[in-house]
Amino acid sequence: MDGDMWTIAWNVGVIAGLTFLSQVFTGLNIGLMSLDTAQLKVLIDVPKKDEAAVRAARYARRILPLRQKGNLLLCTILLGNTAVNAVMAVFLGNIAGGLMGWLISTVIIVVMCEIVPQSVCTRHGLFLGALGAPIIVVTMWVFYPFTKPYAIVLDYLFPQRENMLDRSQLRALVEYQKSAQPNMLANGQAEMLIGALGFAERPVAEVMVPLEKAFQIKSDSLLDYDLVASVVQSGFSRFPVVCSETGQVEGILHCKDLLKQRFLHAPVEQALMEHSTDEHQGPTPQTTKELLGALRAMGQERKVYACGKNTHLMSLLSEFKRRPHLAVVADCEESGEAGESARHIGIVTLHNIFETILQTQDGGFAELQEEDSMSRRRVLRQAGAVHIFHPCRMSRMAGEPLGEQEAEAVLSFLSVNAPEFSPRLVSGEELLALLREVRALRFAKRDVLYRRSEEASFGTLVLHGAVGVVSGEEGFESTMGPLSCIGMRALELPEVARADAEKRTREGELRRWESTTYVPDFTASVLTDGCLVIKIDRSRYFEAHLRTKYGRA
């Protein structure tokens, strides 16, 4: 009796061990073979790993050498699983024969050795695969003489390939992940990935701006300050020059071409003046067509690249690496560069391509059209900055209030460059109202704006010309040009008023302000005839400050 019990115990122990091995082989068959080598390499190479990613990379490093021998691994697992199940059936037959032995072996093999390990390993394949890797290595060496020949044949007939996703599959994966787990990627990242994966095959006709809707410069447009102001207002850096007669794009101008031509007196303007100056009549108005000709003569022409409407955006992006970032779309079916006779129907810029990648083309321009008044002010300030330097305007500004655009430009400058005009001290609305009351003053050469040790009650902003400043005991000299602030310390708030402002009433602060004075430690004199400045009275400034702090009541 004791011998039979020991035999049964031995059989049960062996069956338990074989069941465990069968579970290992079945589970690892799912866990290891479901992991692609490309997926394992991605897990290993993930940048900026957190703790979970570090563990996953460690597991992947254990599995990758085995998974790279895909057919040998498959043969080893299947042979090991089959051998274990066969031996287990023999031992089960020793315990219970006939129908009962068949039922017991079926339940153990199907339920314990197939269903349970497969269901577990499908969810934890990486961890369990790394954990069972040593068992597979030992089994691989034991069965190597039998499995290697089969693996060689399988490698020849069915070579192992990595499962790589093409562009459309990657895009579908990102779209699915966006819908299934929208919070996994940061806001906008999914749209950016979708746009980057999908823009390469899109034709330029889908993203171009029709020529009639694009900001353009006519070839017969005069190069005056109104044109320069409109260029600044547009906010673009490159502009197509369109022939007034044919409607074809003749060239491309950069914003700096116009600014150099007018403000910096570059060789372009000199060349134009040489070609257009009459001895008796003087210089005549210039056009953009003549400016293109001068640029062409100096070898600085920006040639127009015209492409067919079916050209892919990826091809155009490659062209932008060696051409100006503005291309003309021609009404022709071929892809790539179009012929000279093809009709021009639109333009595409690098900005349009980026909008396509970032998926903002539907909402970006709508948002621009719905800008608030502050955004509109920014555009006016840019144009006003141009008009401040307009020579014709300069000759008429003396004694006149600043125009709307000039006031906006000065506001923009002061609010950024002068601490006294920060929005915390003076609101934009109050500062704009103050500037609308200010009048531009013209001074002759050697006129004195400030004298050292003499009280001054105003701050000064130079609009045009130059002012010399002599300061300090050593008489240090400096020159202040356009848009330079002088004597703005006259507008500073008294320290006491700042310290206990909460305890003071509006009238009390005003009395405290009026009791303080500003005495400059420098002398400022005009260096050029026709110097144009604006003076901001300290009392008017403080009134604007009080309105900002207490309101208009």
Secondary structure in 3-state letters for 8-61: HHHHHHHHHHHHHHHHHHHHHHHHHHCCCHHHHHHHHHCCCCCHHHHHHHHHHH
**Vertex 77: Cα angle to 73 and 80 (nearest 5):** 135
Tokens of 115: 């269903």
131/149 same-domain check: yes
- Tell me how many domains the chain contains: 4
Strand partners, 468: 479, 525
Residues 280 and 222: their CA atoms lie apart, in Å, by: 21
What kind and span of H or E run contains 408? helix 404-417
C-alpha Rg value of the chain to the nearest Å: 40
Contacts of 314 (CB under 8 A, 6+ apart): 199, 200, 201
493: DSSP letter = P
205: DSSP letter = G
* Cβ count within 10 A of residue 37: 17
> Cβ(436)–Cβ(402) under 8 Å?
yes
> Cβ(282)–Cβ(273) under 8 Å?
no
Q: Which residue reads 């110097």 in tokens? A: 531
What is the separation of C-alpha 13 from the centre of its chain, rounded to a whole number of angstroms?
66
Backbone dihedral angles phi then psi of residue 306, each to the nearest 5 degrees? -105, 130
Q: Which residue reads 């303007």 in tokens? A: 269
465: DSSP letter = S
Range of the domain at 251: 204-262+285-360
Within-domain flag for 277? no
251/326 same-domain check: yes
* Cβ count within 10 A of residue 409: 24
293/183 same-domain check: no
pLDDT of residue 130: 85
229/299 same-domain check: yes
> Cβ(248)–Cβ(242) under 8 Å?
yes
pLDDT of residue 3: 59
> Cβ(67)–Cβ(40) under 8 Å?
yes
Write down the H helix ranges in 332-371. 350-358, 364-369
Within-domain flag for 371? no
Within-domain flag for 271? no
222/338 same-domain check: yes
> What is the CATH classification number for the domain harbouring 218?
3.10.580.10
pLDDT of residue 447: 93
Q: Are strands 209-210 and 217-218 parallel, antiparallel or unpaired?
A: unpaired
Given 307, 337, 360, the domain boundary residue is: 360
Residues 228 and 239: their CA atoms lie apart, in Å, by: 12
Cα atoms in the Cβ-side hemisphere of radius 13 Å centred on 388: 29
Within-domain flag for 546? yes
Within-domain flag for 252? yes
> What is the CATH classification number for the domain harbouring 509?
2.60.120.10
* 3-class secondary-structure state, position 467: strand
Which has the closest alpha carbon to 343: 210, 219, 206?
A: 210
Tokens of 395: 């000759």
Contacts of 302 (CB under 8 A, 6+ apart): 238, 251, 252, 253, 254, 295, 324
Residues 542 and 521: their CA atoms lie apart, in Å, by: 22
* Cβ count within 10 A of residue 13: 11
Tokens of 73: 């691994």
Task: Fill in the amino acid letter for 255.
Answer: C
Number of residues in the chain: 553
Within-domain flag for 214? yes
219/336 same-domain check: yes
pLDDT of residue 451: 93
194/208 same-domain check: no
pLDDT of residue 361: 52
* 3-class secondary-structure state, position 448: strand
Within-domain flag for 367? no
> Cβ(199)–Cβ(353) under 8 Å?
yes
Which has the closest alpha carbon to 158: 65, 37, 42, 72?
A: 72
73/120 same-domain check: yes
pLDDT of residue 508: 64
pLDDT of residue 514: 67
Which has the closest alpha carbon to 150: 65, 64, 67, 79?
A: 79
**Positions of the chain with pLDDT under 50:** 1, 262-285, 362-384, 496-503, 553
Q: Which residue reads 């037959």 in tokens? A: 93
432/299 same-domain check: no
Given 310, 344, 360, the domain boundary residue is: 360
> Cβ(512)–Cβ(497) under 8 Å?
yes
Within-domain flag for 101? yes
181/209 same-domain check: no
336/405 same-domain check: no
Residues 544 and 426: their CA atoms lie apart, in Å, by: 6
129/183 same-domain check: no
**Interior/surface letters 216-237, b for 16+ CB within 10 angstroms, e for the rest:** bbbbebebebebbbebbebeee
Residues 440 and 449: their CA atoms lie apart, in Å, by: 14
Which has the closest alpha carbon to 227: 380, 387, 375?
A: 387
Given 332, 360, 388, the domain boundary residue is: 360
CA distances from 323 to 268, 271, 339, 439 (A): 22, 25, 17, 47
Percentage, residues of the chain above pLDDT 70: 81
